Chain A
Amino acid sequence: MRDAACLARCDGMNQETVTLSAYVPPKARSLFEPHRLFLMAVFLVIVFCAVWFLRWDWLPKYGPRLAYGVWQTLVMLFWTSVIGFLLALPIGLVQVTGPRPLAWLAKGFCTIIRGTPLLLQIWLLYYGLGSLFAQYPEVRSSFLWPYLRQAWPYGFTALMLSFAAYEGEVMRGAFAGVPRGELEAARAFGMGRWTMFRRIWLPRAIHRALPTLTGETVLQLKATPLVATITVIDVYAVISKIRQDTFLTYEPLLLLALIYLCLTGILVGGFRLLERRIPTRSA
């Protein structure tokens, strides 16, 4: 009886070697193992020391401003990522299928943006382009000038272009990685180029690129404080102001690290929820 069961199972194993040989993670370690409890105790002591021995009396006074800064950071992150992603689609696509000059242009754009520090790009746009704009009376008298004399459009543009370049490289791989058979099947169904792109190529490519999107967005979050160097107010700028006002070195910075830690955690958790809602065929 047992032999028969084993045989049946072995048979099943032969048929489904692909599913069985897949990596099975070992059972996750419990949070309540002795050494973890010890580490948590040490951590609690450190937190207690930080709360007790460092100065936190400035916190209530700056609370609203901090909340505003966090909100600004999130707004900046959201819109630069969304628009940057929309830009990344054509950048990725033309590198796979577009005409040669466009493909070269897209590749050059990605190389230049990815090859220079974001801080320098922000300064180039704000100080360089900003001072250029100021020299031309046509620009100064245009309806755009009230925006162009502020700092945030430059920071926004730099962040957006950076996201577009990094994500464009990802999208290039994603577009190229969609199996040819699926596209050929679409063509065999008589789909036009646009329908095929809309129904098959784009959704499949985005599906492939989704896992990297989490990492790219976290990187984008970590890039946002750079715009504070050109006087845009975000949570980093608020913390810098607090540091100047209170002459404290560590406390505001520790709080800032904690804020970014929480934001990253929320982002990663949110993306995980999103990914779980998208059906995947587990093979």
Chain B
Amino acid sequence: MPFNLDILALSPPGWGGVLLGGLLASLELAVGGYLLGLVIGVGGAFGKLYGGPILRDLLEIYTTLIRAVPELVLILLLYYAGTDAVNQLFLLIGLPAVDISGLAAGIFVIGVVQGAYSTEVLRGAIQAVPPGQIEAARAYGMSPFLALRRVTLPAMLPYAIPGLSNLWMIATKDTALLAVVGFSELALVTRQAAGSTKAYMTFYLAAGALYLLVTLFSNVVISFIERHARRGMPRTV
């Protein structure tokens, strides 16, 4: 089996540039989805901890549903339902239907899925913060938002980072699922390249190496962030 590496060249006869473009799309999706998930997660965690009974039950239903159904099925459902719903809404207020970009829909889908998981991670982390610290912030007369920004979020970060870094890894890998709805990220681009050159092994191995590079690089960055967030805390081991 000759591995012809010329087809991985960056310029057009080779497919290297296309693969890197796919990787870029994947990373955009992952970053966007992850950030959206974090926003949903912060809101969800606070809703679960301090919200009223109805809000808590609704959030419980949200996290349970999302975590029990395969991501692939959720992506199909949300991708079609999400774009459909926006168009229906636009129709309702009299705007013309728009073509929602695959990127926006993909970020929405990954974000909603990630939001359920990060809700749970952040809820656990907030509960690990000694309640006295949050009470002290209130006693100082801080508004809820100020207390969140100055006390709760920084104090919970060390507890949340292992879970959140895990979620980032899941986000980068979940982007591959969007290949199923035809969004040309790394996995789909690889499949197309492999299909048209018949060099299946070469391209799948190359794509695997790219994903692995992202993971390993993320690991380095995460350990750096973790060391920064844990500064001043007693060492566990």
**A interface residue numbers (CB < 8 A to B):** 29, 33, 35-36, 38-39, 111-112, 114-121, 123-124, 127-132, 135, 218, 221-226, 229, 236, 249-250, 253-254, 256-257, 260-261, 264-265
Cα distance A230–B28 when bound, in Å? 27
Which B residues touch A29, using CB under 8 A? 53
Cα distance A111–B216 when bound, in Å? 9
Chain A proximity of B204: nearest CB distance (Å)? 4
Which A residues touch B180, using CB under 8 A? 119, 229
Interfacial residues of chain B within 173-210, with CB under 8 A of chain A in the complex: 173-177, 179-180, 187, 190-191, 194, 198, 200-201, 204-205, 207-208
Contact with A along B83-114 (1 / 0, CB 8 A): 01000000000000000000000000000000
Interfacial residues of chain B within 50-73, with CB under 8 A of chain A in the complex: 53-54, 57-58, 65, 67-73
Q: Contacts A120-B190, A128-B200, A131-B200 known; A261 to B69 CB distance under 8 Å?
A: yes
Q: Is the CB of B216 within 8 A of A115?
A: yes
Chain A proximity of B49: nearest CB distance (Å)? 14
Q: Is the CB of B179 within 8 A of A265?
A: no
- SS class, residues of chain A in contact with chain B: helix
Which A residues touch B205, using CB under 8 A? 124, 128
Q: Is the CB of A250 within 8 A of B57?
A: no
Cβ-closest chain B residue relative to A262: B68
Cβ-closest chain B residue relative to A119: B176
Chain A proximity of B117: nearest CB distance (Å)? 11
Cβ of B146 < 8 Å from any Cβ of A? no
4 nearest interchain CB pairs?
A117-B176, A115-B215, A124-B204, A222-B70
Pick 15 A–B contacts, CB within 8 A, sort by A. A39-B57, A39-B58, A115-B169, A116-B173, A116-B212, A117-B187, A117-B211, A120-B204, A128-B204, A129-B201, A222-B69, A229-B180, A256-B73, A257-B77, A260-B69
Q: Is the CB of A117 within 8 A of B173?
A: yes
Q: Choose one: B81, B191, B215; the contact of A123 (CB below 8 Å).
A: B191
Q: Is the CB of B68 within 8 A of A119?
A: no
A-B contacts counted at CB < 8 A amount to: 120
Which A residues touch B207, using CB under 8 A? 120
Q: Is the CB of A35 within 8 A of B57?
A: yes
Q: Is the CB of A128 within 8 A of B201?
A: yes
Which A residues touch B80, using CB under 8 A? 249-250, 253
Chain A proximity of B161: nearest CB distance (Å)? 18
Chain B proximity of A199: nearest CB distance (Å)? 28
Chain A proximity of B58: nearest CB distance (Å)? 8
Q: Is the CB of A261 within 8 A of B65?
A: yes
Cα distance A127–B196 when bound, in Å? 13
Which B residues touch A114, using CB under 8 A? 169, 215
Cβ-closest chain B residue relative to A256: B73
Q: Contacts A115-B216, A123-B204 known; A261 to B68 CB distance under 8 Å?
A: yes
Cβ of B76 < 8 Å from any Cβ of A? yes
